[in-house]
Amino acid sequence: MKRLYSLLAILAIIFAANCTRIEDNNDPIIGIWNDKSFSESEKSSINKSHEWIFNDAYLGRYQSYNNNKLDFKTDFKWSEEDGVYTITYPGTDMPSNKVSMKGSLEGDMLEFTNGSLLAIRE
C-alpha cells in the first residue's frame, strides 16, 4: 500500500511539473530602455534620466535618477496589442503610457502615439 501511495505521489509531482510551464516571451521590447537629459545653467548642471527595464513576464521596473542619484522607482506592467505597448504603473499616480517601437540609425526607440520620444534601447 505504501508503494502505491509513493507511486501516486511521484506521478502527481510529475504531472504538476509538466502543467506549469511558462510560455516563452521573445517580444522585442524586452530589455533596458532609457531617456537621459542634461541641462546646464550658470549656477549648476542637472542630469536627469529615466530607465525602464522590461522582462518577459509582462512586468518591469521604472527608475528615475536626478544627478545620478536614485530619485524614484516603481514596478510596472506592460502589454502589447497590434504593435502598441501599454505601460501601467499600479499603486502610483503615474499615468499610463501608450508607445510603439521604431527602428532608426541611432537604434531602437520607444515613441508615444503622438510621435514624441519616450526612450532609447541601451
Can you list the domains of the chain with their CATH numbers? 28-121 (2.40.128)
pTM score, whole prediction: 0.76
Among 35, 27, 34, 36, smallest CA distance to 86 is for: 27
Residue 58 confidence (pLDDT): 94
pLDDT in tens, the chain (122 residues): 778 778 777 877 777 766 656 677 889 999 999 998 766 655 667 788 999 999 999 999 999 999 889 999 999 999 999 999 999 999 999 999 999 999 877 789 999 999 999 999 98
Please identify which residue in the block is written with the cell numbers 504538476: 16
Q: Which residues contact 63 (CB under 8 A, 6 or more apart)?
A: 50, 51, 53, 70, 72, 73
